[in-house]
Amino acid sequence: MAVAAARQALAQAHRYPGVGERNLRRKIAARLGRGLTAENFVIGNGGTDVLRMIAQAFVFDGGNTIMSRASFPMYRIATDTFSGETRQVEPAPDLRHDVAAMADRIDADTSLVYLCSPNNPTGHIITQAEADAFMTRVPEHVVVLFDESYCDFVTEPNYADSLAYVTEGRNVLVVRSFSKSAGLAGLRCGYVIGRRELVDYVRHTQLPFHTSDVALAAASASMDDEDFLRELRQAVVNGRAFLYHAICDLGLACLPSQTNFVTILDPPSGANELAAALLQRGFIVRAMGAFGLPNGVRISVGAQEENEKFVAALREVIGVQ
């Protein structure tokens, strides 16, 4: 449905984008309920663009942002872009965000704290208890950003309800994306949710005709394609369980994941070497040095046939019979 809608929008490509952006904001607001309206949203060209806009709105020269060391590098890049200082906080021994240590690093010049849930590259969620404990310690001048780009793949019941903080009027922004949730990474559409006064700062960083009508049409249509979304989620949940167990059975350490990837830890050959060996067999996986996890290799869940071929290649590379 999304691709058909994109094709249809292409027929109007000679026109500037029209009301598609506002309509998508209205549609997402209606879906999420909780009294949210179109004014609680800003749409961008993927979550990455939204993260950039947020940094443009809140990061300032001499100010700082806080993130976990093993998390999405775009937070540091966006902070650098607007001349802020990134404080990278050591994760807990199990690689979860150490939210208490993150709260300890907040000071008068902190503008943003990045909580990635589920986290790239470790795959863990921020639980309700962790989020509540953290939120009680956050001063008024700090914006807490929950990056929930992978939220649709979460199956754990204790996933923090970040939108509740938004509706309570806290300084919380929630970033989501159609890239993973709807399999539309190439079309570039993501958004941020927050209380109106807060997202208005982000809206001011948006360029005229910011997002293409093709991307907006596809994103909107994807929301109605319930069969596809259900199948996508199921394939991801099944695929990550298959990969996790297969990798553990090979005697490797693997992080349990709430995302659409799994991460191998401490491969005996080294992370870069394992990624290179798999590339030679046609599998593009990523060593996670740039994500603060130099001993990690991240593998995206594929179709079941691809997952099985991947495990066979991995078995060959690590020399298990």
Interface residue list for ligand PLP (CB under 6 A)? 46-48, 72, 116, 120, 147, 149, 177, 179, 185, 190
Residue 258 or 311: the one with the smaller Cβ distance to ligand PLP is 258
Residue closest to 37 by CA, chosen among 57, 20, 22: 22
CB of 159 to ligand PLP, least distance (A): 15
Query: What's the closest the beta carbon of residue 59 comes to ligand PLP, in angstroms?
Result: 17
Tell the smallest beta-carbon distance from residue 118 to ligand PLP (Å).
8
Nearer to ligand PLP, 20 or 118 (CB): 118
Shortest CB 134 distance to ligand PLP, Å: 18
Nearer to ligand PLP, 53 or 278 (CB): 53
CB distance 151 to 136 below 8 Å: no
Residue 292: CB minimum distance to ligand PLP, A: 13
Bond before 294 cis per omega within 30 degrees? no
Q: Which is nearer to ligand PLP, 70 or 252 (CB)?
A: 70
Tokens found for residue 57? 């709105």
Closest approach of ligand PLP to the CB of residue 103, in Å? 21
Q: Given the complex with ligand PLP, which of 117 and 307 has the nearer CB atom? A: 117
Candidates 111, 99, 20, 130; CA nearest to 58 is: 111
CB of 113 to ligand PLP, least distance (A): 15
Q: Which residue is nearest to ligand PLP (CB)?
A: 46
- Measured distance CA(11)–CA(4) in Å, rounded: 11
| Cα–Cα distance, 86 to 75 (Å, whole number) | 8
CA 14 centroid distance within chain: 32
> With respect to ligand PLP, which residue has the nearer C-beta, 131 or 317?
131
In the complex, least distance from residue 250 CB atom to ligand PLP, rounded to whole angstroms: 26
Nearer to ligand PLP, 293 or 317 (CB): 293
CA distance 167 to 171: 10
Q: Using alpha carbons only, how large is the chain's radius of gyration in Å?
A: 20
**Cα-Cα-Cα-Cα dihedral of 93, 289, 266, 303, to 10°?**
110
Residue among 183 and 270 whose Cβ is closer to ligand PLP: 183
For 187, residues 6+ apart whose C-beta sits below 8 A from its C-beta are 2, 6, 178, 214, 215, 218, 219
Sign of CA dihedral 46, 175, 254, 73: positive
Six token digits for residue 9: 């929008």
Closest Cα partner for 150 from 127, 123, 168, 129?
123
